[in-house]
């Protein structure tokens, strides 16, 4: 009996104690909560569209692709913070401002953002300054050195080659001919460039002041005048928050909380792809597949907005399949607008322009397509880094124009002429004998400059094109001819200035333009809208087959502007691109062109 009582007591005691041990065991096995950071690299150039190569689209990084990735990070509930490694950024001002806007939205999403710099210049710092804190490598530097404008003049080179640029310009500030006819800036060119730089510099100071509590507009200029800064100086001036090597930053994050396990990883969408084995046929096919991925099917439905990209110089149509997708041609844009105009499911069009202009004739053909489409459905223009000269020409028929504060726009003016190669021919031991009938028969000849009567005819044509440009801008902007003529004259304006002058309607980026188009199309704010992107980017083989089907008897010639996409010329930088574009406009059989184009780019370093 006593044994039974003892056993019963032990069982009761075990029953009472077991939950305590179970709870302690469960507490030991429950893992601590996880705090996840992802590492995301911002570097290089982000373009509007991918470059098309022989086999397919290149690995060019696009703004829309970047924004999709940033949206994924913002909406991922598992991510507590993002470490942005910012290095080697090369962007135009408008692209930089658009990325800054996207990065600023992380604060609204409640996610911690950290900008990590090994070293940085203006562009890298302006991106990092949007974040909660900035970390700089202890041996790095912060190269805040202000802005500068550099214009390369080619007259000396042309003189050495005995080439004469016989050019005329319409508009006091139309400076496109100056790099080829002068050794330095005219007073009007200098005035225009100084005004642009003044406005962009003011925007730089405002960006610094709005991003860092320790900086005001008043002391931002003083800081820049004292730059560049060593890492220690940048820390003392409160330009950065900490000096750490990257591994030290990671270690600090992991040790910051004893109750959480901190993980730092790459985003899920940045999985590395294995390099195919080039020694096998299967590997070659895999490489081809990587270079030319299958196109995603466009979403069907009635709620559609067409997004049409116009990137690069505006060049005439050439009957060839070799046209580089970095150029804008009437043929490609006409197809895009016809599809958007005739497709009943497309309710509005957004035209994204990043172009310094080019051929006046080609610009007018594209303007016509924009105007015809605007009659049928809303067209909203989104201006990128530059939409000036011909870039503005193709925009001005749209119902609404949106630009960034730093977009280069306006430049309503034209210039024209030809390259006189007689001296170069003679230097090479070549001569030409010309027999002509007609007072102006040699107008298009490259073996001599304009005669007085030829010059008179070219000037007359240019005045007509300029008057047409101003008239169409006045009609599109609902202003008088004289009102537009006063702010035209080839003068380049920033988007901020253009808004004050009435050349653009709204300040903002592509998202702003899409939002306006959605509203003008009659969509409710919460309606889901599908984008169809035009024109479709096609690899070389597809263009080649299309051309062969359209005209099997035509001879295929390689146009000069194909070379603008050559990787070697890309390495040479902006000057080579301007030269190639110039040759594309003035190097044809009939080499006299009337053009409207900017002779320079502005990048932030």
359 pairs with which residues across the strands?
595
Q: Reduced to 3 states, what is the DSSP secondary structure of residue 590?
A: coil
Complete DSSP assignment for 443-482:
TT-SSS---HHHHHHHHHHHHHHHHHHHHHHHHHHT--HH
User: How far from chain centre, in Å, is Cα 363?
Assistant: 20
User: Does residue 345 have an active-site annotation?
Assistant: no
Structure-token pair, residue 514:
């899409």
Cβ neighbors of 432 (< 8 A, separation 6 or more) are: 422, 425, 447
Structure-token pair, residue 498:
């253009």
Structure-token pair, residue 41:
């690299």
Separation of alpha carbons 352 and 575, rounded Å: 24
Q: In terms of C-beta distances under 8 Å and separation of at least 24 residues, what long-range contacts does 371-378 make, across chains too?
A: 371/397, 372/337, 372/341, 373/337, 373/340, 373/341, 373/349, 374/398, 374/399, 376/341, 377/340, 377/341, 377/346, 377/347, 377/348, 377/349, 377/521, 378/347, 378/348, 378/349, 378/517, 378/520, 378/521
Separation of alpha carbons 491 and 388, rounded Å: 10
Catalytic residue among 311, 355, 382, 389: 389
Separation of alpha carbons 306 and 404, rounded Å: 21
Structure-token pair, residue 568:
């070697």
Q: How many CB atoms lie within 10 A of CB 349?
A: 28
Strand positions, DSSP E, 512-570 = 530-534
Strands 492-494 and 408-410: antiparallel
Structure-token pair, residue 523:
């969509």
Cis peptide before 535 (omega within 30 of 0): yes
597 pairs with which residues across the strands?
357
Q: In terms of C-beta distances under 8 Å and separation of at least 24 residues, what long-range contacts does 235-238 make, across chains too?
A: 235/136, 238/212, 238/214
Cβ neighbors of 518 (< 8 A, separation 6 or more) are: 305, 348, 525, 527, 529
Q: Residue by residue, what is the 3-state secondary structure of 317-342?
A: CCCCCCCCCCCECHHHHHHHHHHHHH
Strands 346-355 and 61-62: unpaired
Burial 545-574 (b: 16+ CB within 10 A, else e): eebeeeeeeeeeeebbbbebbeeeeeeeee
Separation of alpha carbons 203 and 208, rounded Å: 9
Separation of alpha carbons 328 and 323, rounded Å: 9
CB contact at 8 A, 385 and 123: no
Burial 404-430 (b: 16+ CB within 10 A, else e): bbbbbbbbbbbbbbbbbbbebbeeeee
For the CA atoms of 470, 476, 477, 481, the dihedral, rounded to the nearest 10 degrees, stands at: 30
User: How far from chain centre, in Å, is Cα 563?
Assistant: 21
Separation of alpha carbons 24 and 29, rounded Å: 9
Q: Which residues are catalytic?
A: 389
């Amino acid at each position: 009996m006593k044994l039974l009582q003892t056993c019963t007591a032990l069982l009761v005691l075990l029953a009472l104690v077991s939950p305590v041990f179970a709870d302690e065991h469960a507490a030991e096995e429950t893992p601590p909560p996880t705090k996840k950071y992802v590492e995301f690299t911002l570097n290089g150039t982000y373009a509007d569209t991918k470059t098309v190569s022989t086999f397919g689209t290149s690995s060019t990084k696009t703004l829309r692709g970047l924004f999709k990735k940033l949206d994924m990070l913002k909406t991922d509930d598992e991510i507590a913070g993002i470490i942005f490694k910012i290095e080697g950024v090369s962007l135009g001002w408008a692209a930089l401002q658009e990325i800054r806007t996207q990065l600023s939205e992380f604060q609204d999403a409640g996610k911690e953002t950290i900008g990590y710099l090994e070293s940085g210049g203006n562009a890298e710092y302006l991106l990092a300054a949007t974040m909660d804190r900035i970390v700089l490598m202890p041996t790095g530097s912060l190269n805040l050195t202000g802005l500068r404008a550099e214009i390369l003049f080619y007259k000396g080179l042309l003189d050495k080659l005995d080439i004469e640029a016989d050019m005329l310009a319409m508009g006091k500030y139309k400076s496109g001919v100056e790099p080829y006819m002068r050794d330095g800036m005219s007073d009007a060119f200098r005035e225009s460039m100084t005004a642009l730089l003044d406005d962009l510099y003011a925007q730089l100071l405002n960006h610094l002041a709005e991003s860092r509590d320790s900086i005001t507009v008043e002391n931002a200029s003083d800081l820049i005048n004292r730059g560049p800064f060593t890492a220690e100086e940048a820390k003392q001036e409160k330009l950065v928050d900490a000096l750490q090597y990257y591994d030290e930053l990671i270690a600090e994050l992991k040790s910051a909380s004893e109750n959480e396990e901190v993980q730092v990883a790459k985003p899920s969408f940045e999985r590395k792809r294995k390099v195919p084995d080039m020694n096998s046929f299967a590997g070659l096919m895999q490489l081809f597949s990587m270079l030319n991925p299958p196109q995603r099917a466009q979403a069907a439905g009635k709620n559609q907005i067409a997004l049409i990209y116009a990137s690069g110089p505006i060049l005439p149509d050439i009957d060839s399949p070799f046209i580089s997708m970095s150029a804008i041609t009437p043929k490609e844009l006409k197809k895009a607008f016809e599809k958007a105009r005739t497709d009943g499911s497309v309710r509005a069009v957004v035209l994204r322009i990043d172009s310094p202009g080019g051929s006046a004739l080609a610009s007018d053909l594209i303007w016509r397509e924009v105007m015809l489409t605007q009659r049928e459905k809303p067209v909203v223009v989104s201006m990128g880094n530059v939409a000036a000269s011909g870039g503005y020409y193709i925009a001005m028929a749209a119902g609404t124009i949106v630009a960034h504060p730093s977009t280069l726009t306006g430049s309503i003016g034209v210039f024209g002429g030809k390259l006189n190669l007689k001296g170069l021919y003679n230097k090479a031991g070549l001569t030409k004998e010309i027999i002509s009938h007609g007072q102006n028969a040699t107008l298009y000849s490259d073996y001599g400059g304009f005669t007085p009567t030829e010059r008179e005819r070219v000037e007359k044509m240019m005045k007509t094109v300029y008057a047409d440009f101003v008239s169409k801008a006045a009609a599109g902007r609902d202003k008088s001819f004289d009102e537009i003529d006063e702010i035209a004259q080839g003068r380049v304006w920033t988007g901020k200035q253009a808004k004050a002058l009435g050349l653009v309607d709204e300040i903002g980026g592509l998202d702003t333009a899409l939002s306006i188009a959605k509203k003008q199309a009659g969509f409710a704010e919460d309606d889901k809208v599908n984008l169809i992107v035009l024109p479709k980017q096609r690899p070389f083989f597809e263009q080649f087959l299309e051309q062969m089907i359209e005209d099997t008897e035509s001879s295929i010639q390689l146009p000069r502007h194909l070379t603008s996409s050559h990787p070697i010329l890309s390495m040479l930088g902006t000057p080579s691109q301007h030269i190639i574009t110039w040759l594309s406009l003035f190097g044809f059989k009939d080499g006299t062109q009337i053009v409207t184009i900017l002779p320079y780019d502005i990048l932030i370093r």
